[in-house]
Chains A and B, each alone.
Chain A
Amino acid sequence: MSFAEIKTQKAPERPAGAEGNFYQPTKTQKIGPGMNERIQRLRKLSVETQESLSIERALITTRFYKENYGKYSEPVMRALNFLEICKQKTIYIGDDELIVGERGPKPKSVPTFPELTCHSVEDFHVLNTRDQQRYTVSQEDIDTYEREVIPYWQGRTMRERIFNHVPNEWKRAYEAGVFTEFMEQRAPGHTALDGTIYRKGMLDYKKEIKAHIDSLDFLNDPEATSKLEELKAMDISCDAVIVFAERHAELADEMAKTEKDPQRVGELKRIAEVCRWVPAHAPRNVWEAIQMYWFVHLGTVTELNGWDAMNPGHFDQHLQPFYEKELAEGTLTRDQAKELISCFWIKVNNHPAPPKVGITARESGTFNDFTNINIGGVKPDGTDAVSEVSYMMLEVTEELHILQPGNSVHISKVTPDKFLNAAVHLIRQGHGYPSVFNPDVYIQELVNQGKSLQDAREGGCSGCIEVGAFGKEAYLLTGYLNVPKVLEITLNNGIDPLTGKVAGIETGDPLSFKSYEELYEAFLKQLNFVVDQKVRVSNYIDQMFAKYAPAPFLSVVIEDCISKGKDYYNGGPRYNTNYIQCTGLGTVTDSLSVLKKHVFEDKTFTMDTLLKAIAKNYEGEEALRQRILNWTPFFGNDDEYADNIALRVYNDLLNAIEGKPNTKGEVFHLNMLSTTCHVYFGLVLGASANGRFSGKSISDGTSPSHGCDTHGPTNVIRSLGKLDQTKSGGTLLNLRFVPSLLKREKDMEKLGHLIRSYFSLGGHHIQFNIVDTATLYAAQACPEDYKDLLVRMAGYSDYFNDMNADLQQEIIDRTENELL
C-alpha cells in the first residue's frame, strides 16, 4: 500500500477552522499525512522503516565491562559505561529533521542490554523471522554477538542472577501463570518528568551535585562513602549527555558545510546551536525545550531499558510558557511550534520497545514503548491547564496517526467542554487515542498514598493507566496477577489443572465446601499466599537492581535523589511505590457469581457437575454453559448481586496488597492495569466457572467480561463507579463504540457527557475503541488493506495487523455498544 492511499483525514464533520475544530485539511497530501511536506517525509520514513536490532550498545558495554569491571563502585561503573556509549555510539541526523537524536544508530533501530538479559543466537533468529513484531538483525551481527557478547554475559546477567535465587513456591506459581515478573527482562522504569529540566540544565545539576558532595559528613554519616560514589556517578552521567549533545552539534556543523540547500544549512546551524545549549543549560525557547526533553529521554533509555521508556509528563504545560513568550516576541509562529511538536512525535515513533523473548513477549506483544503524553488536566495550583499547546498536540496526533507516542487527555471538573469536545472528535477518528483520565480522582489517589497536594497535582498517568508523582517518584510495576487463576487453583486445591503441578497451597477440597463463604475464604487464603510470594521476590529484585544496576542519570532528573545521595532504585526519589497489577476482575467476579448463585443458593447444579464440565472445557455441556452465560448476574450491568461480589474482591485485593513493605521504607499498592496481559493469562487458564472456554482471554483491567455487559455503557459505568477507585493506583475501563454511535455532533457531545458522568462517580480512566466488527473481520482477512488500522488496546493503541490472532479475536469479541 502506498502512502498516497492512506486516508487518515476523513471528511470533516464541521467546516475546517470552526470553533473547537482542529481539523485542517492540508493541500499537499501527496506523500502521506502531516502538516507539511517535511513532516510528511519524516513520518513516511518513520512508519516505513523496518524495526531492527543494533548490537552497537552491547559491544561497547561488553568491551567496557571486560576491561573495567571491579575497578569502580557499581554506580560509577554504570555511569562510566553510559559515558562510553555516549562518546562512541553512532550519531544520526536525518534529512528534514529539526529535533535530533536516536537511541540506536538510525530510526527504528533498538539496542540490546546484555547486562540485564542477554539474547541468545536462537532469540535473534526468532526476532528476525517471526510474523509479528519482527526486528531484523543481520547474520554478521548475530555472529559478532555470539563471539563477543554472549560468552561474557553468560551467568552474569541480572535475569540469571535473579532466577538463581527465587524460592520454589514463587517459581511454581510463576510457571503456572499466576503472576508475571516485570523485572526479569527490563529494568524498573515507569517514570515521567516534572517541569524541572526546563528550568535547570545539566551544568546546574552538576553544581547541585558538587554542593552535596562537599557537604558529605564522612565522620557522622556511615553511608557517606556510598553517597559519594552515587553522586560521582550522577556527575559523570551529566557529562555523558552533554557530550552526546555536543557530538550532534559537531555533526550538524559538518553537514552544513556540504549542504547545498541554503534553508537546510540554516536549519543545521540552528540544530548545532540548540545542541550546544541544551542539555547543558536550561532551554530558552520551544525548540530547545523539546530538544532538552529529548536528550534526557534518550539518556534514560540508553543508560538502561526501563519499562515504559520515559515520559515527558504534562508536556503541554511544560512547553506553554516558552510558546507564549515566543509568540508574543514574534520569534515563533503557531505553525512553527506545531512543526516542532510533530518532529518530536515522530522521534518517539522512531523508538520501538526493546524486544523481549519467552513469556514476557507474549505478555505484551507490541512495538509500543508506552511513552504517554498527558494533555490538559490541572496545574500545580489546581486551575485548568488547557492551553493552545494542548490543542496543537491533539491536532498533531490526529494528523500524524502513528503508533507512538501514546497520549491521554485529562478531564477535570475545571476542564472546559471545548477541550473535551475536541478530544471526543479525536476519539471519533478511531485511531485509538487519546485515552481519558480523571485528575480529580488520581490526585486523590496520590494524596491517599501520602503525596503532598502540589506533588500530586504535578503527577499524572504514565505508561498505561498507572499514576505517579511525576519527576519525584519511582513507581515500579512489579508484575501482573492473574486473579481468575487464583480461583482456578482454589477450585483445584492448590494444583494447576492444566499441568497437574502444584501452583499454590492446599486450601481444601472444593467438594467439601458447605457454603459460598467457605469457598471464598479458601480463595482469599490462596490469594494472600500468592501475593506474599510476589512481594517477597519483588523486594529481592529491587535490591538486586539497587546494588548491581543503578541508574545514575535517571537519578539526576528525579527529585531528591541528589539531595539524598541515593539512586533511583535505592529510595533516592521523594516517593517510592511498588505496584502489583491485578487482572481479570470481571472474569473472577462472574465466576464467583456463578458459584454463589447456581451452586450454593439456587442449587441449579452441583459443584461436582460444574467442576467436571470445566475440566472437559464444557464439551458436551453446552446447555449448562448457556445457562451460566444467560442466567447469572454478571459484572458491569449495575446489578447489585454481581457488583457486590466485584466490590468485595476489589477490597480484598486491596487488603492483600496495600501496605506490604517495600525495600525503600515505603509500601506496595494495588493497581488494576492489564496492558495485554489478560490475553496471556487467558492462555494459561483452563475453562472458568463463568462459561469462558479454556485459553480465551480474561477480562481486562476493571472492564466487564467480554460480551457480559449487556445493559449498555451507562450501566457499565455505574457498576465501575461502585469501586472506590481512589484507593488504587489506577483502574482501566475499555468501552467499544461502533462509529455509528458517534455520527453526529450531538452524539459526540453525549459521549462527552458520558465521560463526565463516569468521572463524577469516581472513575479513574476510560477509553474507547471506535470500530465495527465488519471492519475488523475484513482487516483479518485482508491485512494489507488495513495497515493503518489502529485500535485501542488496554491502556495504549496498537496496529491491528501487528497483533497476534488471539489479540485480534479479543478486540473483535469486545462488546459492541450498538444501538439497534
Chain B
Amino acid sequence: MIPLIFDIKRYAINDGPGIRIALYVKGCPLRCKWCHNPESQLPKMQKLYTASKCIGAQDCIENCPEDALTLTPNGIVTDVEKCTLCGLCADACPTKAIQMSGKLYDAVELMQIIERERVHIEHSEGGVTFSGGEPLMFPGFLLEMLQECGKAGLHRAVDTCGFAPAETLLEVATHTDLFLYDLKIMDPVQHKKWTGKDNKLILENLVKLAETGAAINIRVPFIQNVNTSEYEVSKMAEFIAVLPGETPLVSLLPYHNIAAHKYNKLGSNYEEFDMAEPSEEEIEKAIEIFNSYGVEAEVGG
C-alpha cells in the first residue's frame, strides 16, 4: 500500500541531526488525544476547510459536480454523503480555504524532491526523516524509500510510535540510521485511555529494536496530567535505563495547545480534557529523574 503524504517539511531542524527534509505519511494506528496533526490519523484523503480564509466567493459551490456544498452563516458546509472527495472545490477556491489533505507520490518523484535538498543536507550532515502518522503502517513503501535514500547516501531517520509488527520494525531497522521512537505513557491502562491502544507491543518492540544496536532517540510528548507525574517519569526512566546497548537520549516535547484549529478544519472538535502545558518545575524534575537513572534527557527534539 502506498501512503498518502500530507506534508513535506524543509529546513526541518527538530527531527534528527542537521538540516532535514521530513515526509509525513497519512495513517496512524494510535489516536492520541493530544495529536496535533489530526489529519495524519486516517490513511485516506480528507478535506480541510479553514473558515477564516473563506471570503464567500462560492466558486466551490459552482464547481461541485455533486451539489454537496452550501454556504451558511458559518461558512461552507459539505454534505459528506454526497461528497466524493474529487477535490474540484479545492481547485476552485481562490483563497485555499478548502484544501485536500493527502497526496500520492511515487518513489521517483519523492526522490527528486529529496534530492533538491541535498546541498543543505550535505552541509549540515542532515538527512531525510520519515514521519507521520505512522510510517511503519506502510512497510513496502517505507523500505523502498529507505533503500533509495541509502543508495543516494542520505542519512535516514524514522519517527515511529512503535506500534507495528516486530518483524516490520526489525526489517526497517536494517535500512534506518536513526529511530525517533515515541514513548508516551508507561501505565498500560492510562496508555490505552489516552492513545486507544495498549503499550505492550510498543515497549516490547523498543527492547527488540535496542537489541539490534540501532541508534535510538526517545521522544516523549510531555503533558501535564498525562505523564508528568514522578511515578510515570520514574517508570519510564527505569525502563529506558535497562534497555540493551547504548542508553538512548530522551527528548521531552512539552505539550502546547496549538491543535484546536486543525480539528476545526476537519470539521471536528478538539477535546482537551485536563491536558495542560507542563510547568518549568515539572520539566526540570523530569530531567533530574531521568538523569538519576543514568539517562540523558533534554527539552526539544
User: Which A residues form the contact surface with B (CB < 8 A)?
Assistant: 622-624, 626-627, 630-631, 638, 711-715, 717-718, 721, 741, 743-744, 746-747, 749-750, 753-754, 756-757, 760-761, 817, 819-820
Contacts and interface: CB of A to CB of B under 8 A. Distances in A.
Interface in B241-255: none
Interface stretch (B11-19, B156-164, B167-175): B11-19
A753 B119 CA distance: 10
B282 interface: no
B95 A713 contact: no
A714 B9 contact: no
B238 interface: no
B123 A753 contact: yes
A465 B140 CA distance: 51
A753 B94 contact: no
A819 B14 contact: yes
A711 B94 CA distance: 19
Given A754-B123, A756-B123, A820-B258, 7 more contacts: A624-B94, A721-B119, A744-B300, A750-B13, A757-B119, A760-B119, A819-B9
Main SS of the interface on chain B? loop
A718 B119 contact: yes
Nearest to B299: A744
Contact of A753 (B9, B59, B96, B120): B120
A757 B96 contact: no
A623 B13 contact: no
Contacts of B96: 630
B258 A819 contact: no
20 contacts: A626-B94, A630-B94, A630-B96, A631-B94, A712-B10, A714-B11, A714-B117, A715-B10, A717-B120, A718-B119, A746-B13, A753-B123, A754-B11, A756-B123, A760-B119, A760-B123, A761-B119, A817-B11, A819-B9, A819-B13
Contacts of B107: none
B52 to A, nearest CB: 13
A525 B9 CA distance: 41
Interface of B: 9-14, 18-19, 55, 57, 59, 94-96, 116-117, 119-120, 122-124, 126, 258, 300
Contacts of B57: 622-623, 626
A756 B18 CA distance: 13
Contact of A712 (B9, B18, B94, B258): B9
A352 B230 CA distance: 59
Nearest to B300: A744
A714 B123 contact: no
Contacts of A715: 10
Contacts of B120: 714, 717, 753-754, 757
* Across the A-B interface, the 7 shortest Cβ-Cβ residue pairs: A753-B124, A626-B94, A627-B94, A757-B123, A623-B57, A626-B95, A714-B10
A178 to B, nearest CB: 32
Contacts of B18: 750, 753
A256 B94 CA distance: 75
Contact of B55 (A622, A712, A717): A622
A129 to B, nearest CB: 43
B34 to A, nearest CB: 15
Q: Which has the most chain A C-beta neighbours within 10 Å: B95, B116, B126?
A: B95
A755 to B, nearest CB: 9
Given A622-B55, A623-B57, A744-B300, A757 B94 contact: no
Contacts of A622: 55, 57
A750 B10 contact: no
A374 to B, nearest CB: 23
B244 to A, nearest CB: 27
B59 A623 contact: yes
Q: Which has the most chain A C-beta neighbours within 10 Å: B11, B96, B117, B119?
A: B11
A721 B122 CA distance: 16
Nearest to A757: B123
B124 A750 contact: yes
Nearest to A741: B13
B300 to A, nearest CB: 6
A817 B19 CA distance: 14
B254 to A, nearest CB: 12
Contact of A713 (B11, B55, B116, B124): B11
A419 B126 CA distance: 21
Contacts of A817: 11
A761 B10 CA distance: 17
A750 B9 CA distance: 15
B300 A718 contact: no
Q: Which has the most chain A C-beta neighbours within 10 Å: B13, B19, B55?
A: B13
A747 B117 CA distance: 18
A630 B55 CA distance: 13
B281 to A, nearest CB: 18
A429 B138 CA distance: 44
A480 B19 CA distance: 36
B293 to A, nearest CB: 23
Q: Which has the most chain B C-beta neighbours within 10 Å: A622, A631, A753, A819?
A: A753
Contact of A743 (B94, B116, B126, B300): B300
